[in-house]
Structure 1
């Protein structure tokens, strides 16, 4: 069963949003920097794996970041807040749009 959570890392002022599989592994991950919810990452495990196979993992990481490798249950000190699928999708869409906009060349 897929689950969606968010956690706040106070030391860095970053919100982490996770889409988790049944075992707690991260399938999609969003990182938003406070204040202003600036997107730092919006990575999808499937895309990461495809980029790695194609030899483009560094390029993908530069654009979208990477997903966490450990299951969230192994993280110490996390205090997850459960989200609905829709709440996660809204955050995911906005973060991806922000990151994609930064990749576009700026007009001269």
Structure 2
């Protein structure tokens, strides 16, 4: 799914599991749609367990901490998995290639 936060001019893209928890999240900022986050919950958990959470957060960001059922005032647009992947792949590559 995706939704737009106009106060910050950010598009949020979410992949959620069957219980509504965000497992991957992309954030694109401004009219140029600059990637500012492309985080995976599983990777975040592995980085936390390995003591590298700061490095992961600074490069890829974090995923939402509440299940989508707890979100108020949001009317997200549903996406197919293919539509999510079209956003995830380029955003992830761009963030991964940034100097750390």
TM-score above 0.5: yes
Secondary structure of the residue that 2:13 maps to in structure 1? Answer: strand
Alignment of 1:23-42 (within 5 A): 23-42=19-38
- Counterparts in 2 of 1:63-102, with a 5 A limit? 63-102=59-98
In structure 1, stretches of 5+ residues that fail to align are none
Give 4+ residue runs of structure 1 displaced > 4 Å after superposition. none
1:33 is displaced (CA, Å) by 0.3
Alignment of 1:18-57 (within 5 A): 18-57=14-53
Alpha-carbon distance in structure 2 between the residues aligned to 1:30 and 1:103:
19
Per-residue deviation, 1:103: 2.5
Deviations 1:50-89 (A, max 9, x none): 0000000010000000011101121111111010111000
Number of residue equivalences:
100
TM-score, normalization: structure 2? Answer: 0.96
Indicate the RMSD between aligned Cα atoms, in angstroms. 1.0
> Aligned-pair distance for 1:37?
0.5
CA radius of gyration, larger in: 1
Task: Tell me what 1:10 maps to.
Answer: 6
Secondary structure of the corresponding residue to residue 30 of structure 1: strand
TM-score between the two structures when normalised by the length of structure 1: 0.89
